[in-house]
Structure 1
């Protein structure tokens, strides 16, 4: 039986507990390469803020909405053009990549809930050479983490977050492929509490946009086709409580005033080059066609933001906002709110703030995957921030952390290193095999940035207690009675129908095309048709009492693949879809609109995966959820103990933390006979969830290899497929 865990900060982000046994990693703090350069920002929230890119426009007659042109291209990125370089910072090298708008970091899109983001996607990548395997240089767009309508190509309301579209080079509607991403102002509280009839404010926090063409997602994202989406004001969640436990408005205002905000976008590239990074100066480099391991000094963090492979021409480059080993400064008497995103296609980071002796310094975690996270305070109704010394960030992870220098924390040194450190797992010896030690996520010990905590000019008093705004599941709705009524009407009127082989849902709204900004051609994109719903005679697509869905991460003839099934209360798998590499035409999982379901995620491989589902937030199942479906373990079954030293169980009251990604512990056996398991709860309660989308491993090389499956949320009668037995 696996270990019992309580619901805490699980997801693509996790709080790291103990790392590998043995001495701490030494981190010599060398001077950085220069102050951190902010990514370009396009704000719909504040019209007074200059737009950070000439590809952005504020939308006329729609205050708060913003439009961005994305020209997908293949070009050489470099550091020419001044300190900002329009986002062209690539660690000092000139590198040819697939990217947007000839930059490594396209703009961060900042909007409030209730506004719209328009993306005009032009595929300007070259037409593939004859004989190139499809879908070379094809592309599309996904808005990761958002609960928004997946409207299909041709919808009168505009193309939504639908990945079943394909734009080949030069294959664009007039003025480009026009995506219209409507951010709801409120969503049904039933998305978080299934029996609620109220609404809650749409969650604030970090999300992102990137391509999602199966087979080439990893190289496109890795080359720079990805940017952040920020919903709401990041500092609004910070609250200072007075002695009576109530918010202190003056102290809260002061805390926010002395807290600066910075984006930290983490990426990496394995390169072939004849020049080391410190001498790069726009030296040419090419992305290595195959991965390679990294050599780092024993017991130390590799300095300078890179390490080398066995071949001296191999350089593994790690960047923050495209910079190699920048300088981060926390001024005296002030704080920094770091909004961190792992936008690497495949690489995991385990973040620590280290001194030169390897002592990890504490920081406060505020949000995980765009949702407030922390310990509940029943007296105030808010949550306490969680102080940690390590933070696990798998691909796609987002987190907001507060590094305090206002008297709330002390540090063992003023010069620190923001590092990514490995998680080492030891397999005990058996009578026939010796003990082995392996790197769970394959991430080297790398110094990412130099951090300077400026000393106080005068003695600082202890800072007041920090608490956070309630997460959506606990928050009272900010919607007006009129908005509540409108949202209820929207859910009631949402409908479902077939279009080019797949379902979608939407609400009535006036079309608002993206302002014309130029397109590649007048050719239409194509729709990727998907197969029928997997259903059962006399039962349909839903679950019976005591049943749960099961998704298996496994291998099919050596190829990464997914399978699905339905498990009854006694644990019997009654129906199933075989473990098969992704094929959109296959039968697939369908859930009825309005359902609340327990999903069992089974990892039958001997390495971790990173589960992601579009259009939803989900949480770990609680004891009462598991009892209803006959599960007698906790929500996480970790047969190898590989995750034992990775996640810190909550030691206090419980709090629901909602995610869009989740790490899965590996199987104890290579043949999958003793798999890792995670149980989650998913609620399909918002009309924006009606339609076709996917779930997959968000280690994008795994997804491209076949570890993805289509699914639908259906409001109506789906196309049928008889269950396999």
Structure 2
């Protein structure tokens, strides 16, 4: 089972204390009759998030960040819209501007001793230009002091600038009672597909995401790259995790319960959500693993027989679209491993009426001797009926040829200017006490393992326009998940063996057995885009990231020296 750091354990206790203050939930409800952070009964029919669409190149959204405690004692968090909807799906197009007004409506922190002057001494960059605008890497963005009620937003997977008021998470703090404006610019060559948004304050990101504060972002236009999805009924499925009520101690208990679109799938009953469909109907499913810590291995079974998932996109990138072809390529798989924060988009044909049990499930994932228990369990039952209503959305018709220039075009043939090795590792804070908290590290080979702190200097410095090959090793006895902000990478090898390249922003690195070679992946990192400045890479098991497994990379404008 999972071992939390002392810092994270204390943070969770503080958060629970804050939202349990008498009147805290009532105070959040006084201004309207809304239900804060609503949840659905187990076994409910799937409810799609509300869809918000850009118009004339702009999508404008107002959120309040809110919290309450549910009947099990779990602390919930959510982004609520002005109309009372929760975590809507944000639809944009390449080149669009996303304007998000975010008010942190959490009650003020009651634990001032927890405050951390996270921005003090932050290193800065000389002034440089991004997208024609002068920019200076200032030592803070928003609040100066981090508390246990701070929040911010990360636009996961998007290739958007790491600057204040866009997709910057190292320095950005929005504290209780504060309002902050995001103005996020999507590049013209942003791949059409599925992305998502969630808080990313180091030390409390796990609690926020497990509380449910997350939603999907869809960059439109995938039908123009892969015609197979054109006009298909479309579903957005968001898997989240949370604490198992009562935290029972037994071998068959999962490390975390799961939910699908806020419909709980609770141990031990595992009553699945219900997805209606017409018999034999093709649907286009977009699935994001928005779990903080749980690794999924998705499969669809009809009467116990695994079905083909016709995969169209992975981590927001249409499959086959970046390898010199004129359009995308559909890949057939019987199951798909979905690391925390990863996304997969696929076509599925509903079963005929003769099928008695049609199930979307996650298979058992062996995460290693020190890892979580991620057992097999259902997520949804697919119920077919001639009277089943279609999803509220359908993919558009083909309206344009594939783009002449794809964002990562030519990456597989590009010559890397640098080879690096990084590794995941763990160590007990007290090696003599097996129950002491664990520190988690991601380290450039040859450097000293260092817990993340926003005051740390960059662990890696590179230059815009460069391409690098990174080998990521796992030297720990549990799985870790590599993610880097702002860019995608091309997967080249697993354990030294070439693989068919996929463009991703998430990759699972399996656990080390304790002897022999370390499991590894080799990735081609693409810094040829416009984004410069400081951003982060980390394990996206958020309990590990909160406990130190993150570091800073600095991308300098072309012509600057690197290290």
TM-score, L = length of structure 2: 0.72
User: How many pairs align?
Assistant: 456
Contact 1:423 1:439 in 2 (8 A): no
Listed as ranges, the gaps of 5+ residues in structure 2 are: 1-41, 116-146, 265-271, 388-396, 408-414, 430-437
Q: Deviations over 1:243-302 (max 9, x none)?
A: xxxxxxxxxxxx734x210111111222426xxxxxxxxxxxxxx6xx85563xxxxxxx
Contact 2:539 2:550 in 1 (8 A): yes
Q: Deviations over 1:38-77 (max 9, x none)?
A: 11111115xxxxxxxxxxxxxxxxx231122222222246
Q: Residue 192 of structure 1 corresponds to which residue in structure 2? A: none
Contact 1:104 1:225 in 2 (8 A): no
Q: CA deviation at 1:160?
A: 1.4
Q: How far apart are the structure 2 equivalents of 1:561 and 1:371?
A: 29
| Residue 218 in structure 1 maps to residue 206 in structure 2 | yes
Contact 2:465 2:558 in 1 (8 A): no
Q: How far apart are the structure 2 equivalents of 1:377 and 1:607?
A: 33
Q: Deviations over 1:636-656 (max 9, x none)?
A: 218xxxxx9xxxx97xxx5x4
Q: CA deviation at 1:233?
A: 3.6
Q: CA deviation at 1:674?
A: 3.3
Q: How far apart are the structure 2 equivalents of 1:555 and 1:478?
A: 38
| Residue 402 in structure 1 maps to residue 365 in structure 2 | no
Q: How far apart are the structure 1 equivalents of 2:250 and 2:507?
A: 25
Over 3 Å counting, the alpha-carbon distance change for 1:547 and 1:34 in structure 2 is closer
Match runs of 1:622-661 below 5 Å:
635-637=493-495, 654=500, 656-661=501-506
| Residue 690 in structure 1 maps to residue 517 in structure 2 | no
Q: Residue 611 of structure 1 corresponds to which residue in structure 2? A: 482
Contact 2:369 2:478 in 1 (8 A): no
Contact 1:555 1:561 in 2 (8 A): yes
Q: How far apart are the structure 2 equivalents of 1:417 and 1:606?
A: 32
Q: How far apart are the structure 2 equivalents of 1:583 and 1:321?
A: 33
Higher relative contact order (CA 8 A, sep 6+): 1
Q: CA deviation at 1:318?
A: 2.4
Q: How far apart are the structure 1 equivalents of 2:193 and 2:552?
A: 27
Q: How far apart are the structure 1 equivalents of 2:101 and 2:321?
A: 41
Q: Residue 366 of structure 1 corresponds to which residue in structure 2? A: 312
Contact 2:417 2:467 in 1 (8 A): no
Q: Residue 365 of structure 2 corresponds to which residue in structure 1? A: 423
Aligned residue for 1:577, secondary structure, equals coil
| Residue 256 in structure 1 maps to residue 238 in structure 2 | no
Alignment counterpart, residue 180 of structure 2, candidates 174, 177, 181? 177
Contact 2:205 2:546 in 1 (8 A): yes
| Residue 71 in structure 1 maps to residue 64 in structure 2 | yes
Contact 1:422 1:439 in 2 (8 A): no
Q: Deviations over 1:286-331 (max 9, x none)?
A: xx6xx85563xxxxxxxxxxxx67xxxxx95422111142221231
Match runs of 1:371-386 below 5 Å:
371-374=317-320, 381-386=326-331
Contact 1:341 1:399 in 2 (8 A): yes
Q: How far apart are the structure 1 equivalents of 2:347 and 2:543?
A: 32
Q: Deviations over 1:411-442 (max 9, x none)?
A: 982531111110359xxxxxxxxxxx979762
Over 3 Å counting, the alpha-carbon distance change for 1:716 and 1:390 in structure 2 is closer
Alignment counterpart, residue 681 of structure 1, candidates 495, 509, 524? 524
Q: CA deviation at 1:347?
A: 0.6
Aligned residue for 1:686, secondary structure, equals coil
Over 3 Å counting, the alpha-carbon distance change for 1:149 and 1:385 in structure 2 is same
Alignment counterpart, residue 47 of structure 2, candidates 32, 37, 49? 37
Q: Residue 206 of structure 1 corresponds to which residue in structure 2? A: 194
Q: CA deviation at 1:397?
A: 1.1
Alignment counterpart, residue 392 of structure 1, candidates 333, 337, 355? 337
Q: Deviations over 1:180-208 (max 9, x none)?
A: 1011113xxxxxxxxxxxxxxx2000111
Q: How far apart are the structure 2 equivalents of 1:422 and 1:213?
A: 30
Contact 1:140 1:165 in 2 (8 A): no
Over 3 Å counting, the alpha-carbon distance change for 1:545 and 1:478 in structure 2 is closer
| Residue 476 in structure 1 maps to residue 404 in structure 2 | yes
Moved more, 161-170 or 222-231: 161-170
| Residue 449 in structure 1 maps to residue 380 in structure 2 | yes
Q: Residue 452 of structure 2 corresponds to which residue in structure 1? A: 582
Aligned residue for 1:272, secondary structure, equals coil
Match runs of 1:160-309 below 5 Å:
160-167=166-173, 169-170=175-176, 172=178, 176-186=179-189, 202-239=190-227, 256-257=230-231, 259-272=232-245, 295=252
Alignment counterpart, residue 354 of structure 1, candidates 301, 306, 317? 301
Match runs of 1:20-99 below 5 Å:
33-44=43-54, 63-76=56-69, 96-99=75-78
Q: Residue 10 of structure 1 corresponds to which residue in structure 2? A: none
Aligned residue for 2:490, secondary structure, equals strand
| Residue 339 in structure 1 maps to residue 286 in structure 2 | yes
Q: How far apart are the structure 2 equivalents of 1:133 and 1:564?
A: 30
Aligned residue for 2:243, secondary structure, equals strand
Over 3 Å counting, the alpha-carbon distance change for 1:171 and 1:327 in structure 2 is closer
Q: How far apart are the structure 1 equivalents of 2:217 and 2:101?
A: 15
Contact 1:364 1:402 in 2 (8 A): yes
Contact 1:77 1:104 in 2 (8 A): no
Listed as ranges, the gaps of 5+ residues in structure 1 are: 1-31, 46-62, 79-92, 153-158, 187-201, 241-254, 274-287, 296-307, 310-314, 426-436, 457-467, 480-543, 566-575, 622-634, 639-643
Q: How far apart are the structure 2 equivalents of 1:44 and 1:376?
A: 26
Q: Deviations over 1:87-108 (max 9, x none)?
A: xxxxxx7854232229894111
CA RMSD of aligned residues (A): 3.7
Contact 1:126 1:169 in 2 (8 A): no
| Residue 149 in structure 1 maps to residue 167 in structure 2 | no
Contact 2:154 2:168 in 1 (8 A): yes
Q: How far apart are the structure 2 equivalents of 1:477 and 1:617?
A: 16
Q: Residue 562 of structure 1 corresponds to which residue in structure 2? A: 442
Contact 2:312 2:328 in 1 (8 A): no
